[in-house]
Structure 1
Amino acid sequence: MVNRLFAINWISFFLWFMLISFVIIPFGGVIDMSTAFVTPLLITQALNLLIDTSLPIIFRRETLRASKLAKKIMKANPAETLLALSEYHSSFENLLSQSPSSRSLAFETKIELQMMTPIRIPYLEEALEVSIPTLEGFENQNYFMTADDVLEESQLPLYNAFPDYLRMVIQYGYVVMFSVVWPFCAMAAFANNVIHIQNSFYKLVLLRRRPVPRKANSIGQWEKMLFITLFLAIFVVVGLICVSTGELEYFISECTALERFNGKDFSMGPEFSCLSISSRFIVALVLEHVAFLIVYMLMDFISDTPASVRTSFERKKELIRRAICGQAAPTTPKSGSSGIQIHHGAKSFETA
């Protein structure tokens, strides 16, 4: 499912930029690459950020305003409120065939009043005869939740991490693929992500149901999506350099001697009159192999685990092996530290 959704979103986000880069600019009219890329990128990111940030805040404020207004009306007119509640329940008496007929208005009123009563931990402990651990040192000791608030929070939608993962991978794709066109792409993505993280905190705390913490060893399928984006970015960057942007022409004297590259009317785009398509293909093939070699070397030489963690892990494995075999472990004396005795049968040894 993640693979399909990622493929659909990747096409919807980047198809426009691919058509501009490899169809319109090489074989169509003259288009400024900076304008064609930067303007849609900034507008798209700004609109997404505005929607993700503003709409949840507006919905939250309107919900709180309506809730406060309802509570104010209930407190100002308790008699009318109870009368309205009685009429509300009586209108559904015919539909509730399984409800007991002996249920009186006083019982219904008592339930509604209890729903508006704050939940206090001491009352629960006394009623349930249990000790409920609470957070000590909480600054706002006057904060409490009513039963309505608890029920309302339980009906909130679950937090879905898929949009956040997708947004980060798309941002990563923008940076690795189109920084060759606009060098400030990484800065724009960083600013967008900083604001989006704060918005995610607000959404997770106030607008979603409290998530259950779960242990995860990795980000799952999204790690594969990052690798796929990286490998696709190699072809895109090589294509932008050799075909679309005209950056390859600056390394050839015949191309730089043209008036287009020295005048005021310069625009990013290829010049096929001084460099043929076959030559561009050969250069692109060489650059692609070099890029894959660099990526392979980085992935092979740079470990996922820090050196300190690997050293500690290997030492623990060695201690376990020696404890099982009954051998003495080598000690590394340290000033001011006392050893820990590890006993194995009749033998024992110390660890630093």
Structure 2
Amino acid sequence: MRLLAFWGLGVSVVWGFAFLKSWERENACMQYEWTGKLHVKQIEYRNKQFYGESRLNALTGDVELVYSGWRRLPKYFCVFLFMLWQMLIMLVLVASWVTIYEILKATYKESHIFSTQWFLILLEGCVFGFFVDVVQWNMVVTKMGALFTHWENYRTEEQYEKALIRKLFLLDFLNYYTWFFSLAFIFVIPGLGNYLTNTFNHMFFGDAMNCCFGPYVNQDGSCTMCPVGDKDATCIECIGFFTFDRHHVDLSAMFVTPIVITQLLNIILRLVAPILVRKRRENAQARADTRAQQCVREAGSMKILGSLDYEDQKESQFGNKSSSRYLEYTPTEIEVLNKKAREILFDSEQDTYDPYDDFHVLTVQFGFTVMFSMLWPLMPFACFLINSVKSRTDGYRLCKTLKRPIPRRANGIGAWNSILTAYAYIAVIVNVLLICISTGVLEFFDETCVSDIQHQLEKQGKTLDDFVFGPDFGCLHIAWRLLFILLLEHLFVAIAYVSMRHVPRVPRWIKDVMSARENKFKGLLREHELDLFPPNSSSGNEGSCDNGKSADAGSDKSSMSSEACRIDVKGLVSFEGNASSVTNRSIRTSSSQSSPSRSISIDPMTPLSRAPSDAEFPTSTGVRTKAREKLARQWSDGSEN
């Protein structure tokens, strides 16, 4: 039991944050290998469904659609009400699941593997997992989340995706983790599970809040004690079917269903359902093709060809050779062509790939792993095996059952990275609460508490190996538990935060490469600063070149163009073959046959205000080269003539 505490904190604090930091570094490596840079501006795609009021932008002078933020406040409130409704539904489902679990435990005493109780509890978990993961999530939660996000009306697709991901994150907690949080922090704590059970019996069946149920009822129907309120008070048996026994709730067995059974069911449904739909459609199309071929054979190909108007080939459907040749194929060849055509048509009609489902599954698995590995130590290995199978099935699903997605550049996984980070920090708090309150692991660090637990188990004919997770508040007071919670939670959250802040997200070798590239670029600028940016004088523009020649505003234009400065930038080549550009507005690259080194031709810049001509040619930068000025003058002279 003591090792479980170290295992849970090790997975949540060490592995969880190490995984996130390693992904950040890997993402930086992929960005650099793909673009040669780290901070690439992501393209913002406009939301086609965005609407608003047309207003004039005072800065740009363009008419833009504007949607006030206060209009989303009532919509946020509706989302909040929907989330409360979802949480209530999940609590009722959990209470129903626990009730059925108790009934099966009481009805079928044999609990070994492959027994009747084992099969029925497994079937119950499959049905509940199917409803929560498939029906509740895919048919209700995701659709309502997309509906609310569309209703909130965001300008860009990036804003829409971030808002949707935040909703999915909150709904995950209310849809998936309500089950486990209620089991881990309500049902296993003495008194809270009884109070919640009586609350549901009171709400749905009108029972008194102190009615007895399950383990508090004798065989004759009388109550041994009241589960809520004064233990010596008089109470009657509950009419409602909700029941609960804390000693039967095994937290280690509660996670087999959602992790193993539910995930496997989800994989099978996502893979098998599209294949069955595709086979059904292909068979229907094959039957239609067979009937069409039979009609052609019965009517006769020559009669069909003879009825066509060969004189007007432009209007005839079979007027060209390639179309009329279709009737000359054998049935086997026609079936091959039809099969290829069916594949093309089916691929074009497939559903568009939606990454939210895959990210949702991965984030849920990450949350289970970092938050509840202490309750079921095999959780990481089960997730690894499931993902190994899922990687192959997802490959088939993406290639065979979904439409090819349109590629878009992205700098990473976006808001999902923040969701994973939030899961990691929440997992630290959850593991501390599990150690100090829910599981009873904290008691095993006190020899007196261990002796008390062993003595209580010996009365029941059991040993410490039969210990069921649950706290003993009589041995360790709640005040000490709260003190340990505050100390451990602050300590491990601080360790995780410091490690995430001080471990760099960019590998050292990338920093060295980019620093060397930047130093070379700055060195070249310092070396040729006067050539690139010649100083201005009162009489005109002056500049100096490597050959010692100077150019001023009164010199001849032809000599200026021929006296262009040459800079050897052979060394200005970035690592891995990427060349660095100095500046586009003042430098243009030229090649020289006599010298193999790379060179840049520099033309002195002439400010518009000091141009020797009276004609004004405005530019965006306010300066232009002699070559541009010459072209502008030629264009001006030609337009005047």
* TM-score tier (shorter): 0.7 to 0.9
CA distance in 2, matches of 1:78, 1:4: 57
The answer as to 2:330 corresponding to 1:167 is: no
TM-score scaled by length of structure 2: 0.41
Letter in 2 for 1:273: G
1:153-183 CA-partner distances (Å, limit 9, x unpaired): 2222211111001111111001000101111
The answer as to 2:213 corresponding to 1:19 is: no
1:32-84 CA-partner distances (Å, limit 9, x unpaired): 2212333443332232222223223333333334344443444454356999x
Stretch moving more, 188-197 or 273-282 = 188-197
Residue of structure 1 in register with 2:398 after alignment: 204
Change (3 A) 1:147 1:300: same
1:246-277 CA-partner distances (Å, limit 9, x unpaired): 11111111111122475453112111111111
Higher RCO (C-alpha 8 Å, min separation 6) = 1
Report deviation, 1:325: 2.1
Change (3 A) 1:47 1:320: same
Stretch moving more, 293-302 or 50-59 = 50-59
Native 8 Å contact 2:435 2:441 kept in 1: yes
Residue of structure 2 in register with 1:127 after alignment: none
Work out which of the residue numbers 507, 513, 517 in structure 2 matches 1:306: 507
CA distance in 1, matches of 2:319, 2:401: 30
Work out which of the residue numbers 153, 161, 166 in structure 2 matches 1:3: 166
Native 8 Å contact 1:53 1:196 kept in 2: no
Q: Secondary structure at the match of 1:257?
A: helix
Residue of structure 2 in register with 1:325 after alignment: 526
Report deviation, 1:144: 10
Residue of structure 1 in register with 2:281 after alignment: 63
CA distance in 2, matches of 1:270, 1:82: 85
Residue of structure 2 in register with 1:294 after alignment: 495
CA distance in 1, matches of 2:398, 2:377: 33
CA distance in 1, matches of 2:512, 2:339: 49
Q: Secondary structure at the match of 1:26?
A: coil
Q: Show the 5 A alignment for 1:3-152.
A: 3-27=166-190, 28=193, 29-30=246-247, 31-79=249-297, 107=316, 146=340, 149-152=343-346
Letter in 1 for 2:251: M
Residue of structure 2 in register with 1:268 after alignment: 469
Q: Secondary structure at the match of 2:188?
A: helix
CA distance in 1, matches of 2:392, 2:379: 20
Which structure 1 residue ranges, 5 or more long, are not aligned? 87-105, 118-141, 328-343
Letter in 2 for 1:43: I
CA distance in 1, matches of 2:266, 2:498: 36
Q: Secondary structure at the match of 1:272?
A: coil
CA distance in 2, matches of 1:80, 1:183: 70
CA distance in 2, matches of 1:257, 1:58: 59
Residue of structure 2 in register with 1:153 after alignment: 347
Residue of structure 2 in register with 1:236 after alignment: 430
CA distance in 1, matches of 2:442, 2:470: 10
CA distance in 2, matches of 1:216, 1:224: 16
CA distance in 2, matches of 1:146, 1:39: 42
Report deviation, 1:145: 7.7
Change (3 A) 1:45 1:110: farther
The answer as to 2:376 corresponding to 1:214 is: no
CA distance in 2, matches of 1:298, 1:227: 13
Change (3 A) 1:109 1:245: farther
Report deviation, 1:288: 0.6
CA distance in 1, matches of 2:278, 2:364: 28
CA distance in 1, matches of 2:356, 2:298: 46
Work out which of the residue numbers 403, 418, 442 in structure 2 matches 1:224: 418
CA distance in 2, matches of 1:20, 1:269: 11
Change (3 A) 1:348 1:162: closer
Letter in 1 for 2:505: D
Report deviation, 1:205: 1.2
Report deviation, 1:348: 5.0
Residue of structure 2 in register with 1:93 after alignment: none
The answer as to 2:391 corresponding to 1:188 is: no
1:285-329 CA-partner distances (Å, limit 9, x unpaired): 1111111112112212322222222221221122222222228xx
Report deviation, 1:213: 1.5
Letter in 2 for 1:223: N
Change (3 A) 1:80 1:200: farther
CA distance in 2, matches of 1:325, 1:212: 45
1:71-101 CA-partner distances (Å, limit 9, x unpaired): 3444454356999xx9xxxxxxxxxxxxxxx
Q: CA RMSD in A?
A: 3.4
Native 8 Å contact 1:169 1:226 kept in 2: yes
Native 8 Å contact 2:282 2:342 kept in 1: no
Native 8 Å contact 1:49 1:192 kept in 2: no
CA distance in 1, matches of 2:265, 2:251: 21
Which structure 2 residue ranges, 5 or more long, are not aligned? 1-163, 194-245, 305-314, 327-335, 458-462, 529-564, 576-641
TM-score scaled by length of structure 1: 0.73
Q: Secondary structure at the match of 1:303?
A: coil
Change (3 A) 1:152 1:82: farther
